[in-house]
Chains A and B, each alone.
Chain A
Amino acid sequence: MLEIKDLTVHYDGAMALNRVSLKVEEGEFVGVVGPNGSGKTTLLRAISGVLMEIEPGKKERPSLSGSIMFNGKGIDKSKAWNITKMGVIHCPERRRPFAEMTTLDNLRMGAYLRKNRSEIKKDLEWVYELFPILKERARQMSQTLSGGEQQMLAIGRALMSKPKLLLIDEPSLGLAPLLKEAVLKVIKEIWRSGVTILLVEQDVAITLASAQRIYILAHGRIATQGTKEELMKSRDVREIYLGL
């Protein structure tokens, strides 16, 4: 479904990603783990196209080479909104809800590209089912929500776009351990409903617990990859990258 080959990203001389290659098959749940600054967020931003959507006059423009294919179509040159249209939905780091809109409006913005009202309504019910707290907070300004609620809102908003491939960036950031697990549980549930998921996480344990296949990203390169079992076999990987 998603195939990345030799993706290299430079930020004003500094290399953020170095020849990264990665593959996600339809229906898979793939995790990418790596420490801070290893280029995880850059990877997702490159896939969803926002990386290159820096305003033209801005000084620090990244440069990108390599190829990103989605369902056999190259999307590395596409605009972010066209990539969204294809069904690649990026749930960004730090949630980023529209702060001065209500929760409901935020969810509605998720369905911006969709026309069919009854389906939208069905999906809204589904999101409420997944995150009942959002229904309670529907009329509240999203900036007044707590961190966990905002994360739920962000995932819910992404779901409203009817994703084929859902890119989730650090859903556990700044959440209490209990909440982390709850969020991950919902993500798994979404995956089970048929959405392909590419999860980027710093928290190795929860990623190992949920993802089918895991890539380890270090210093902008893919250090290694494999299923949980494969990775746990290698002592080096365990100690150096996973810290287990």
Chain B
Amino acid sequence: MVTTYIRRAYSSFVAHVFDIPARLLAFLLFLTLLFIPFAIQNTYYLRILILANVLAIFAVSWDFLVGRTGQISLGHAIFFGIGGYITALLSSSKFFGLPIFLTIPIAILAACIIALALGIPSLRVKGPYLALVTMSFPLILAALLKWYPLNHIFKGEFGIRGLPALVPRLDWMTIGQQRVGEYYVTLILLFAASVILYKIANSKIGLVFVSILDDELASKACGINVTKYKLMGFMISGLFGALAGCIQTHLLRFANPPMFALTLSFLPVIVTFLGGLGTIYGPIVGAYIYYILDSYVLRDWLPRFLKETVGVTLPPEFDFAKLLIFTLIVLILVIKLPRGIAKFTTDKLGDLEEARDLDERGPRIWKTYKKKEKTTSTGSEPTASS
């Protein structure tokens, strides 16, 4: 009984995952991510991955909005900040003191409603207008949060602090165990968010989004309620953006105006382009590359390596070069490899797969395929030419 079950699971695994290189790679990556805490002894490195997970959720939500519904937003930090501030206000012991498993859902739903309100301009303006209008939203909100008359609520640039942690540290826990808990919570949320967004993107709704992206007028003519779907895109994206903000807030245990910073609006954009726009998995890869490159390679490994093997001590001002190096890589990628690293890799793997399929289907099909290819390439002679 059990053996047949296992056998069936195995055969289904072979059929659906093992045979497809792209899925196999994704599966291996997932396994790696799942077991990484056992390999890492240092909480700092774990923390990098935790933050990469948060950024990945955030970037995936941006990718969904821009890559799937075609509405360019350069102010995605607004969802991040709103989610963070709402959960902060609700869970702070100075205000409501609710437990976080209540406040986070409330916060993301509230952010969803705010996304609806912010989505209204997206119905009126599009293209660069929408991009620049959305860019201004977080700037407006950040200024309002610091506005003196509102200080007794939002505490100015100091923010709301003393919040409960994402994974509370119980008495028996070490800091490392807490980090492992945080890692798994963020990983599961990332997994859930990306699976949900992937499912939406590949459902009928996703198809509608793509049709709006391709030709809004034609979609309208087909009887699609473009207004509804555009707002829906904003809301879904805002929901997951806010989720990232909530996680970040409880990781840091405070919410303050830098959550609305422009760099936070740009980061998902850059990370998504690094991985591949409109792919869902691209931003995840991009976020991991960003954090590993920035916080591990350039901040930790490279100075150590240079110091121990070459004997050169990097000046602390080298920090300014980190963003430069990263942005330069992105810039070159956007120009030379517009599909992004992850998309490029899977496309290559997809090519491999196609060739193999033909191989296995037997020589007969292969031959006819070759013939077909030949005829299409030669074409028929034009009937008349001077």
Contact = CB atoms under 8 A, between A and B. Distances in A.
B382 A221 contact: yes
Interface in A3-23: 18-23
Interface string A197-232: 000000000000000000000000111110000000
B72 to A, nearest CB: 14
B42 interface: no
Ordered nearest first, which 10 A-B pairs have the shortest CB separation? A21-B385, A224-B384, A23-B386, A221-B382, A222-B382, A225-B384, A19-B382, A222-B384, A222-B385, A223-B383
Interface string B344-386: 0000000000000000000000000000000000010111111
Contacts of A222: 382-385
B384 A223 contact: yes
Nearest to B386: A23
11 contacts: A19-B382, A22-B386, A23-B386, A221-B382, A221-B383, A222-B382, A222-B383, A223-B383, A223-B384, A224-B383, A225-B386
Contacts, number: 26
A57 B335 CA distance: 9
B293 to A, nearest CB: 26
How large, as a class, is the contact surface on chain A?
10 to 19
Interface of A: 18-23, 57, 221-225
A122 B68 CA distance: 56
Interface of B: 338, 379, 381-386
Nearest to A18: B379
Nearest to A15: B379
B309 to A, nearest CB: 42
A225 B386 CA distance: 8
Contacts of B385: 21-22, 222, 225
Contacts of A20: 382
Nearest to A20: B382
Contacts of B384: 222-225
A70 to B, nearest CB: 16
B376 to A, nearest CB: 9
Contacts of A21: 382, 385-386
Contacts of A223: 383-384
A223 B380 CA distance: 12
Contacts of B381: 19
Contacts of A57: 338
A31 to B, nearest CB: 14
A6 to B, nearest CB: 9
Q: Which of B381, B383, B386 has the most CB of A within 10 A?
A: B386
B93 to A, nearest CB: 52
A223 B382 CA distance: 7
Contacts of A18: 379, 382
Nearest to A8: B379
A92 B337 CA distance: 34
A57 B382 CA distance: 34
Nearest to A221: B382
Contacts of B383: 221-224
B60 to A, nearest CB: 22
B211 to A, nearest CB: 16
A173 to B, nearest CB: 21
Nearest to A5: B385
A21 B383 CA distance: 11
Contacts of B382: 18-21, 221-222
A196 B258 CA distance: 67
Given A221-B383, A224-B383, 8 more contacts: A18-B382, A21-B385, A21-B386, A22-B386, A222-B384, A222-B385, A223-B384, A224-B384
